[in-house]
Chain A
């Protein structure tokens, strides 16, 4: 496990980013948390990516409904291929829709930190507006989001895919990560930058990390 160098110029370079991501994904695979690594077409860059599906209850549905025994959080797209007789294809269904959430962790060379991109859409591709995404987030984070100045969200082009994503602006990341890194050096305990950073910013936008990530980060030396 790599200790983060505090040298000014290479605070958190792209190679360091990729190393931390690789370790993060290794643990994700062990617990089935769904994170994957993707590369750009020319393979010069890569990013972490997680997709999950959630049933959004109580909305008016035009054509797709699911029966009651479906789990509320489906891990893969394949799991949606339920047997036909489980579907009710009428106006008057249980009234739930499936939302697809996507989270991408990219490296910003401008700010030399990781950046969280996210978006949500219905299965037919219609994107959710930011305010609809907020409805799915726990109340306590909503207040935090409104208070904390570093939680600025803008819509930007994904630098590799070119499509619109919401982005948690990275300009304040150094501010809250520096004390974390300084402390880890002080107590001589190495951490995974990605794990620490994502555990802070993720929940604000509906992404939660199981605690086992933290235990892994401090175990691997």
Chain B
């Protein structure tokens, strides 16, 4: 299989940008330019190789996800270098306009609903509801966003949860961009599946063996939820605005 390696972008007119109040910005999507992550003052010594941190990073990923995946041990504010020229067209999605970002966001929301409700909820909504979801996110209006999003978080009374859980697992150590599979929140016997159950099933290398040493951190929104947490609860409460649980598996810091 041919995989084109991501070549590092030659710094050409870089601008240092300080992201203040990262926590407040966490759920936002990053701006539509490519950027090299060059740590200034952060250690690279947690098992990630230089080549994996350098190089262009997907600007259509939520910024909080990028931070968890690449820089969680860095101090805040997170210093990144932004390049405004030489966009690596071959390796990264170009977001030429706000419309393109909106289309990408909505396609993620639709896919999440396909998994949760066979698209029934999203298809029953009007176009203005879809617009409200996007505008609420864009303008940082919690109430406006959740007025619509709460419908996407409901499920029929006779069920114990969604049909399947929308999730993506990211690791810097693998070639494929993420792991996404079908996984039910409730087992056949009615027991709620946990985060640990999910990992054992789709990413067993991430979970430490019974008596083994913990090698990885499983991170969502900068925290490590307990592996016993029910997946259905995580999906309802810790999903990103696109309704997906974006989970980062990073090596355990050595300090």
With A125-B90, A154-B107 in contact, do A41 and B115 touch (Cβ < 8 Å)?
no
B-side interface mostly = loop
**A162 touching B114, Cβ below 8 Å:** no
Q: Mark A156-183, 1 if CB is under 8 A from B, else 0.
A: 1111111110000101000000000000
Partner of B115, one of A110, A156, A159: A110
B interface residue count range (under 10 / 10 to 19 / 20 to 34 / 35 or more)? 20 to 34
B3 contacts the other chain (CB 8 A):
yes
B177 contacts the other chain (CB 8 A):
yes
Q: Which of B89, B100, B180 has the most CB of A within 10 A?
A: B89
Nearest residue in A to B103 (C-beta to C-beta)? A154
Cα A154 to Cα B111 with chains together (Å)? 13
A95 contacts the other chain (CB 8 A):
no
Within A79-127, which residues are at the interface with B (CB < 8 Å)?
109-111, 121, 125-127
Residues of chain A within 8 A (CB-CB) of B164 are: 110
Q: Mark B1-33, 1 if CB is under 8 A from A, else 0.
A: 111100000000000000000000000000000
Partner of A159, one of B4, B91, B178, B182: B178
**A40 touching B176, Cβ below 8 Å:** yes
Partner of B1, one of A41, A126, A157: A41
Partner of B4, one of A154, A156, A163: A163
A-side interface mostly = loop
With A110-B114, A164-B94 in contact, do A40 and B100 touch (Cβ < 8 Å)?
no
Residues of chain A within 8 A (CB-CB) of B175 are: 41, 162
Cα A110 to Cα B3 with chains together (Å)? 24
**B114 touching A111, Cβ below 8 Å:** yes
**A163 touching B91, Cβ below 8 Å:** yes
Cα A163 to Cα B182 with chains together (Å)? 23
* Chain B nearest Cβ from A37, distance in angstroms: 11
Partner of B114, one of A125, A157, A161, A171: A171
* Chain A nearest Cβ from B66, distance in angstroms: 14
B58 contacts the other chain (CB 8 A):
yes
* Chain A nearest Cβ from B124, distance in angstroms: 14
**A109 touching B1, Cβ below 8 Å:** no
Q: Mark B32-49, 1 if CB is under 8 A from A, else 0.
A: 000000000000000000
**B93 touching A171, Cβ below 8 Å:** no
A interface residue count range (under 10 / 10 to 19 / 20 to 34 / 35 or more)? 20 to 34
**A160 touching B176, Cβ below 8 Å:** yes
Partner of A156, one of B1, B89, B104: B104
A144 contacts the other chain (CB 8 A):
no
B92 contacts the other chain (CB 8 A):
yes
Partner of A162, one of B89, B104, B176, B181: B176
Residues of chain A within 8 A (CB-CB) of B176 are: 40-41, 159-162
With A156-B104, A157-B58 in contact, do A109 and B94 touch (Cβ < 8 Å)?
no
**B180 touching A109, Cβ below 8 Å:** yes
* Chain A nearest Cβ from B6, distance in angstroms: 8
Partner of B89, one of A40, A127, A158, A161: A127
Known: A154-B103, A159-B180, A171-B110. 13 other contacts (CB 8 A): A38-B1, A109-B181, A109-B182, A110-B111, A110-B114, A111-B114, A126-B90, A127-B90, A154-B107, A155-B94, A157-B93, A162-B175, A164-B94
Give 19 A-B contacts (CB < 8 Å), ordered by A residue. Answer: A109-B181, A110-B111, A110-B114, A110-B180, A111-B114, A154-B103, A154-B104, A154-B107, A155-B100, A156-B104, A160-B1, A161-B1, A161-B3, A161-B176, A163-B91, A164-B89, A164-B90, A164-B91, A164-B93
Kindly list the 7 A-B residue pairs having the minimum CB-CB distance in the complex, ordered from nearest.
Answer: A162-B177, A164-B93, A110-B111, A109-B182, A110-B114, A127-B89, A157-B177
